[in-house]
């Protein structure tokens, strides 16, 4: 069975291929459909963005489609940057610029009030219009200064609960094991195991 991931991000495609590797699924991506055009992420929630991308790709390809949206929510900022995480300091802002803006906004917030969480929402849209979303969260705290060079995005300022290192100070495999994305992908996988079994039964 083929499923299209609505992404061109090589790391995301490889991660999903690794985790779903033991299922009888051929994972395609937007690289297999170069003429689909850009999908604008203009929703106000992670779910809206993920569903919008998956619906579009399902409609254009006629195949089951997957899409994700993720970001950082800071309690003291009322959930910001949230869906605007990638472009918090401006449309084409770098990770460093986004972190700088975040730390500046949080400069008065003491250590015990710096709770935050990473959120990942994955949407699966099937050709029969069936839709399902899977969520992953990882709770933690925002540091006063960036620390570490690994990972991407807000990793240098996020310490997950139960740890003292930031995501950017941890080995990548350790982050991948506990991340919001991993939790959402594991839920997706459980669903796909059932789905591929049903699919095979229907074919036989």
- Binding of ligand IMP by 195 (CB under 6 A): no
- Binding of ligand IMP by 151 (CB under 6 A): yes
CB of 182 closer than 8 Å to CB of 136: yes
SS (H, E, C) 11-49: HHHHHHHHHCCCCCCEEEEHHHCCCCCCCCCCCCCHHHH
CB of 201 closer than 8 Å to CB of 34: no
**Binding segment toward ligand IMP, per CB under 6 A, in 13-21, 104-112, 150-158, 183-191:** 150-158
Q: Which of 20, 64, 71, 140 forms a contact with ligand IMP (CB under 6 A)?
A: 71
- Binding of ligand IMP by 73 (CB under 6 A): no
95 closest CA partner among 86, 107, 82, 83: 86
Q: Please say which residue, 61 or 179, places its beta carbon nearer to ligand IMP.
A: 179
Q: How far apart are CA 116 and CA 81, in angstroms?
A: 10
- Binding of ligand IMP by 85 (CB under 6 A): yes
Report, in Å, the least distance between residue 132 CB and ligand IMP.
Answer: 19
Q: Is 42 a catalytic residue?
A: no
> By rule CB under 6 A, what count of residues binds ligand IMP?
16
Q: Which residues pair with 125 in a beta bridge?
A: 65, 131
Q: Which two tokens stand for residue 204?
A: 């036989």
Q: Which of 30, 51, 54, 72 forms a contact with ligand IMP (CB under 6 A)?
A: 72
- Binding of ligand IMP by 152 (CB under 6 A): yes
Four-residue CA torsion sign, 59, 11, 175, 45 = negative
Which residues between 109 and 148 bind ligand IMP (CB under 6 A)?
Answer: 118
**Catalytic pick among 31, 42, 68, 69:** 69
**Binding segment toward ligand IMP, per CB under 6 A, in 65-73, 105-113, 183-191, 194-202:** 65-73
Q: Distances from the Cα of 128 to the Cαs of 3, 26, 63, 186, 202, in angstroms?
A: 14, 19, 10, 23, 15
Active site residues: 69
Residues that bind ligand IMP (CB under 6 A): 68-72, 85-86, 98, 118, 151-155, 167, 179
């Amino acid at each position: 069975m083929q499923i299209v991931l609505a992404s061109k991000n090589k790391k995301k495609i490889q991660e999903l291929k690794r985790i779903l590797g033991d299922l009888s699924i051929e994972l395609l991506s937007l690289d297999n459909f170069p003429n689909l055009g850009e999908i604008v992420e203009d929703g106000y929630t992670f779910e809206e963005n993920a569903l919008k991308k998956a619906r579009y790709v399902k409609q254009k390809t006629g195949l089951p489609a997957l899409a994700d949206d993720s970001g950082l929510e800071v309690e003291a900022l009322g959930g910001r940057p949230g869906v605007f995480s990638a472009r918090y300091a401006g449309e084409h802002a770098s990770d460093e610029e986004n972190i700088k803006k975040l730390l500046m906004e949080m400069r008065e917030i003491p250590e015990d009030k710096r709770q935050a969480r990473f959120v990942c929402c994955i949407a699966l849209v099937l050709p029969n219009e069936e839709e399902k979303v899977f969520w992953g969260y990882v709770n933690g705290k925002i540091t006063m200064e960036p620390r570490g060079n690994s990972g991407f995005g807000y990793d240098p300022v996020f310490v997950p609960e139960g740890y003292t290192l930031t995501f950017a100070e941890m080995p990548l495999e350790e982050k991948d094991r506990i991340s919001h994305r991993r939790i959402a992908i594991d839920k997706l996988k459980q669903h796909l195991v059932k789905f591929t079994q049903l699919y095979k039964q229907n074919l036989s």
